Chains A and B, each alone.
Chain A
Amino acid sequence: MSEAHHDLEGHDHEGVKPSAEAGRHAARIRAIEVLLVEKGVLTEEDVRRQIEYMEARSPANGAKLVARAWVDPGFKARLLSDTKAAALELGIDASGPVEFVTVENTPEVHNLIVCTLCSCYPRAILGRPPDWYKSFNYRSRAVNEPRAAMREFGLEMGDDVEVAVHDSSADVRYLVLPMRPPGTEGMSEEELAGLVTRDCLIGVSVPRFEAVRTG
């Protein structure tokens, strides 16, 4: 099962609109939506289209960008200098007022993404963030003890590697370009994309070749 499908598990998508049974917050949102429609601010169709747009985004988009960057140095340079334009080359439309920046992991620097103020995330490319990304626990610890936070995801960083945390507090959304794992020289672009999980794109994990062979 792909990471994209995995991301959607645990959420009930019986129909795209939240029902009153889904809870008090969903009922409140539904009431606000009805009011906005009534006042002509938006239409039911706008809401449906926005849900469809978001559901069509998934971490598989990020994996495609990473795999292409691994096999094509020119694309990698473009991804790092203009993420939006590079994404569009692969048919991923991230247009909108928000900017996207890709940060590259190297043997010297490991990048970790967080939004301490809310849940800013490169949604136009990756879809919705995982629930833990929005938790107070992750949002606080990713900035003041990032190494301990990553350790809980099974990622241990040596003291010789600089950990660079990016707090996406404003109008820019960040993606991590992880390092290509050793032993993958003969792999196709599609196989490489299969190594890149959502967590690798946030920086709480790194692509591992062995994990795929045994898993």
Chain B
Amino acid sequence: MTPTRFEPGDHVRVRPDEKPGHVRTPGYVRGKNGRIERILGTFKNPESLAYGGSGLPESPLYKVGFRQTDLWHEYTGPPNDTLYIDLYEHWLEPARKETV
């Protein structure tokens, strides 16, 4: 079992990196602050798998929750609407300030 860097409840920031290729982190969450909801397991890295690589070492995958109003300035729904997305560990870093 790969040790995980984050635990449920941790506040994280999605790295704002520009990265070409088969990347499973959509632009709309990059640079945004969210919270670890649960650990989904470890999986082969799709950024390597897509190009014939081994995908190893396997990477922990987290379900990360965001407030919709933190993602979209023009969001018109109620403030407790949420968005969950599954992100690989290397895309996450500890949040600097706890905003979620």
Contacts and interface: CB of A to CB of B under 8 A. Distances in A.
A167 B82 contact: no
B76 interface: yes
B46 to A, nearest CB: 7
Interface in A112-135: 116-117
Given A168-B86, A169-B86, A170-B61, A99 B77 contact: no
A92 B89 CA distance: 31
Chain A contact patch, size range:
20 to 34
A199 B63 CA distance: 23
A145 B76 contact: yes
A144 interface: yes
Interface string B14-28: 000000000011101
Label chain A's interface by main secondary structure.
mixed
A185 to B, nearest CB: 31
Interface residues of B, number: 27
Contact of A116 (B26, B40, B77, B84): B26
A99 B40 CA distance: 8
A162 interface: yes
A163 interface: yes
Given A145-B76, A171-B61, A172-B40, A165 B26 contact: no
A170 B84 contact: no
B60 to A, nearest CB: 11
B7 interface: no
A207 to B, nearest CB: 22
A170 B76 contact: no
B7 to A, nearest CB: 18
Contact of B41 (A99, A116, A144, A147): A99
A146 B1 CA distance: 36
Contacts of A170: 24, 40, 43, 46, 61, 86-88
Contacts of B68: 163, 165
A43 to B, nearest CB: 21
Nearest to B88: A170
Contact of A167 (B44, B77, B85, B88): B85
Interface in B75-96: 75-78, 80-88
A171 B77 contact: no
A165 B83 contact: yes
Given A170-B46, A171-B61, A172-B61, 12 more contacts: A116-B28, A143-B28, A143-B71, A162-B81, A162-B82, A163-B68, A166-B83, A169-B86, A170-B43, A170-B61, A170-B86, A172-B63
**3 nearest A-B residue pairs (beta carbon):** A170-B86, A167-B85, A171-B43
